[in-house]
């Protein structure tokens, strides 16, 4: 239904037709009419002195405005003029006289279409849904709803979490079913260990780093030897393990990762029996933006956060491993006593415990508790204060709060060196650069932070010898973390 209201606009100005929507379809309206019309034989239009809302209704033109069918009854008046069969009816509306109906083939300059279907417009529901999903994806969620599995993981945590006399937390693994029964996991763990030992023997330096890591685990009671005199539990799970080399790390060059996704003889893995728990990670962009508000900025890292949280004794045999410090020694079994890297529930248990500590100690350390809840991402803390005095007080609160739960902060860095003066050099990150043109930087949540200038940056090392294609350029852009 064409309409370009001459009462509301200058009739001398060329306008595009407006269409009233009579029904909802799945496609957007194209040019209307789709072909040019020949209205010369329409005597009821040519003889009438009624002004048409669109004098150029016979020429195809794009649609600029769609009006919903719900206003059709409001704009329609009582006037109607009928023509011969095969000719549209003229209707009087608030926008002027419009035409509605089918047309005969002789009324068109093209024989390709017998029907003027452009009188009906469409509502693109898919576009509306797509746009709504885009807005929802880009928006910051205001309220979070837990799934049944997430609720169960949270209930297990609340019912089993405890603290010992030193303040350290003990948690239970959130199993989907109580006391899962595993098939044969020893065979695969034994095969993987023998292959690992053969590789380590070929690299004495790596073997030493791997052995030192295991000795540290034993000395810190993260791992303990299973005695042959102990009664054997009904169900045991052995975890294969391997080393991950981290040459850029200032502390641990080799980290042992335990493969909790390895399948047993029943094609089940340790991870498949666990609930991952709700996602508790804070929004990185929000943390970084809040970090920029502080005149005195500080960052720190919780040392070995996972390993400071103990497991209940009845769940430790689900985390057994095989190890020996020399091929001449007999192969021995150990059990892991803490939350472990590579286990699907470990991130949830670690973050949830950190939040539990903040809630329990917020009366003693209110500012530090707020930082733990709002300005931390996993084991990284990014916060600050408005002046040096309050920043020093916050730093002291953070250290005491985390120490009460058995956690220790290290790798301190700040844009004000005075904030680091009270700390030991071993606990501080001192950025060093041997390139005069490149200032020293520190990694912070995927970005590079330059403490002296207090600016963010990123690093990209393109391969000059590679052939730059669209795919290669997109791959390089994806490696740049842009908040």
pLDDT in tens, 416-429: 888 888 888 888 87
For 399, the token pair is: 């250290």
**Burial of 96 by CB count in 10 Å (0-12 exposed, 13-18 middle, 19+ buried)?**
buried
User: Nearest 5°: phi and psi at 204?
Assistant: -60, -35
State whether residue 160 is helix, strand or coil.
Answer: helix
More confident residue, 462 or 123: 462
Give pTM, 2 decimals.
Answer: 0.65
Q: Give the length of the chain.
A: 483
Average pLDDT over residues 18-27: 43
Distance in angstroms (rounded) separating the CA atoms of residues 89 and 99: 6
Report in angstroms the alpha-carbon separations of 246 from 73, 130, 429: 72, 42, 17
pLDDT digits (tens, 9 = 90+) for 322-375: 999 999 999 999 999 999 988 999 999 999 999 999 999 999 999 999 999 998
- CA 444, CA 297: separation in Å to the nearest integer? 12
Q: Are strands 162-163 and 332-336 parallel, antiparallel or unpaired?
A: unpaired
pLDDT at position 458: 73
- The residue assigned the tokens 């590789």 is 199
319: tokens are 């985390």
| Three-state DSSP class for residue 89 | strand
**Burial (Cβ within 10 Å: 0-12, 13-18, ≥19) of residue 245:** exposed
Beta bridge partners of 96: 93
Domain limits of the chain? 18-128, 148-457
- Smallest CA-to-CA distance from 271 within 244, 242, 239 is with 239
**Strands of 442-444's sheet in order across:** 442-444, 447-450, 455-457
Pairwise pLDDT comparison (117 vs 89), residue with the higher score: 89
Give kind and range of the element (H or E) at residue 368: helix 366-374
SS3 assignment, position 223: strand
Chain segment 187-224, per-residue pLDDT in tens: 999 999 999 999 999 999 999 999 999 999 999 999 99
CA-CA distance, 368 to 375, in Å (whole number)? 10
Residue 107 — pLDDT band, cuts 50, 70, 90?
low
Q: Within 13 Å and on the Cβ side, how many CA atoms surround 333?
A: 20
How many CB atoms neighbour CB 304 within 10 A? 18
> Which of 77-86, 107-116, 396-405 shows the highest mean pLDDT?
396-405
Tokens found for residue 255: 């980290």
Residue 376 backbone phi and psi in degrees, to 5: -125, 145
Q: How far apart are CA 150 and CA 265, in angstroms?
A: 28
Q: What's the pLDDT band for 240 if we cut at 50, 70, 90?
A: very high
Stretch 81-99: mean pLDDT: 80
Query: What integer pLDDT is reported at residue 171 of this predicted model?
Result: 95
| Residues 102/117, Cβ–Cβ less than 8 Å | no
Angle (nearest 5°) at CA 132 between 129 and 134? 110
| pLDDT for the residue 169 | 95
Across 61-75, 113-127, 247-261, 351-365, least confident range = 113-127
Counting residues of the chain whose pLDDT is more than 90, the rounded percentage is: 34
Indicate whether 11 pLDDT > 50. no
């Amino acid at each position: 239904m064409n309409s370009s209201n001459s009462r509301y606009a200058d009739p001398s100005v060329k306008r595009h037709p407006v269409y009233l929507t009579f029904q909802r379809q799945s496609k957007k309206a194209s040019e209307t009419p789709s072909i040019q019309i020949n209205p010369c034989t329409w005597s009821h239009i040519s003889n009438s002195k009624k002004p048409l809302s669109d004098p150029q209704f016979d020429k195809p033109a794009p649609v600029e405005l769609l009006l919903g069918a719900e206003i059709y009854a409001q704009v329609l008046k009582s006037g109607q003029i009928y023509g011969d069969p095969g000719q549209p009816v003229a209707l009087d509306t608030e926008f002027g006289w419009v035409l509605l109906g089918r047309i005969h083939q002789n009324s068109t300059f093209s024989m390709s279409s017998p029907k003027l279907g452009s009188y009906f417009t469409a509502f693109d529901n898919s576009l509306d849904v797509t746009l709504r999903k885009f807005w929802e994806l880009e928006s910051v969620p205001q309220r979070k709803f837990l799934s049944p599995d997430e609720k169960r993981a949270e209930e297990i945590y609340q019912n089993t979490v405890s603290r010992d006399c030193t303040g350290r937390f003990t948690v239970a693994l959130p199993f989907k079913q109580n006391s899962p029964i595993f098939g044969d996991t020893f065979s695969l763990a034994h095969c993987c260990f023998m292959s690992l030992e053969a590789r380590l023997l070929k690299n004495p330096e790596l073997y030493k780093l791997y052995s030192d890591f295991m000795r540290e685990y034993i000395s810190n009671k993260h791992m303990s030897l299973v005695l042959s005199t102990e009664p054997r539990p009904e169900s045991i799970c052995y975890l294969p393990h391997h080393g991950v080399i981290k040459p850029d790390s200032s502390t641990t060059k080799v980290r042992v990762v335990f493969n909790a996704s390895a399948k047993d003889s029943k094609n089940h893995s340790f991870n498949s029996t666990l609930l991952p728990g709700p996602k508790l990670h804070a929004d990185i962009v929000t943390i970084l933006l809040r970090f920029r508000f502080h005149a005195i900025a500080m960052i720190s890292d919780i040392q070995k956060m996972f390993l400071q949280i103990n497991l209940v004794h009845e769940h430790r045999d689900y985390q057994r491993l095989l190890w020996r410090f020399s091929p001449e020694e007999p192969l021995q079994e150990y059990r892991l006593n803490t939350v472990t890297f590579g286990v699907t529930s470990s991130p949830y248990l670690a973050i949830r415990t950190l939040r539990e500590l903040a809630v329990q100690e917020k009366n003693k350390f209110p500012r530090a508790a707020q930082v733990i809840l709002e300005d931390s991402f996993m084991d990284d803390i990014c916060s600050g204060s408005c002046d040096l005095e309050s920043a020093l007080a916050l730093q002291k609160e953070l250290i005491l709060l985390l120490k009460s739960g058995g956690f220790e902060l290290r790798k301190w860095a700040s844009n004000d060196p005075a904030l680091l003066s009270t700390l030991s050099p071993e606990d501080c990150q001192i950025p060093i650069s041997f390139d005069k043109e490149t200032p020293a930087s520190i990694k912070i949540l995927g970005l590079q932070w330059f403490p002296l200038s207090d600016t963010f940056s990123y690093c990209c090392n393109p391969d000059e010898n590679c052939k730059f294609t669209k795919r290669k350029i997109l791959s390089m852009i994806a490696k740049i973390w842009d908040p």
